[in-house]
Amino acid sequence: QERSYIMIKPDGVQRALVGEILSRFEKRGFKIVALKLVHSTKEHLEKHYGDLKDMPFFPGLIKYMASGPVVAIVIEGLDAVKTGRAMLGATKPLESAPGTIRGDYALAVGRNICHGSDSVENAQKEIDLWFPEGIVQYTDDKATWIFEN
Ligand code: GTP
Ligand code: MG
Q: Which residues surround ligand 2, an ion (CB under 5 A)?
A: 118
Q: Say what the pLDDT of residue 62 is.
A: 98
Tell me which residue has its CA closest to atom 31 in ligand 1: 110
**Percent composition of the chain: helix, strand, coil (DSSP 3-state, to 5):** 40, 20, 40
**Per-residue pLDDT at 21:** 98
Low pLDDT (below 50) residues in the chain: none
147 lines ligand 1 (CB under 6 A): no
Task: Quote the pLDDT of residue 17.
Answer: 98
The per-residue pLDDT for 93 is 86
3-state SS of 38-79? ECCCHHHHHHHCHHHCCCCCHHHHHHHHCCCCEEEEEEEECC
Nearest to 48 by CA among 61, 57, 60, 36: 61
Task: State which of 4, 63, 109, 130 you would mutate to test the pocket of ligand 1, scoring each by most atoms of that ligand within 8 A of its C-beta.
Answer: 109
3-state secondary structure of 122: helix
Specify the pLDDT at position 149: 79
Single-letter amino acid, residue 117: S
44 noted as active-site residue: no
As beta bridge partners, residue 3 has 76
CA atoms in the 13 A half-sphere facing the CB of 112: 21
- Residue 108: alpha-carbon gap to chain centroid: 17
> If DSSP codes are grouped into helix, strand and coil, which group holds residue 98?
strand
Q: Cβ(111) to ligand 1 under 6 A?
A: no
pLDDT digits (tens, 9 = 90+) for 95-133: 999 999 999 999 999 999 999 999 999 999 999 999 999
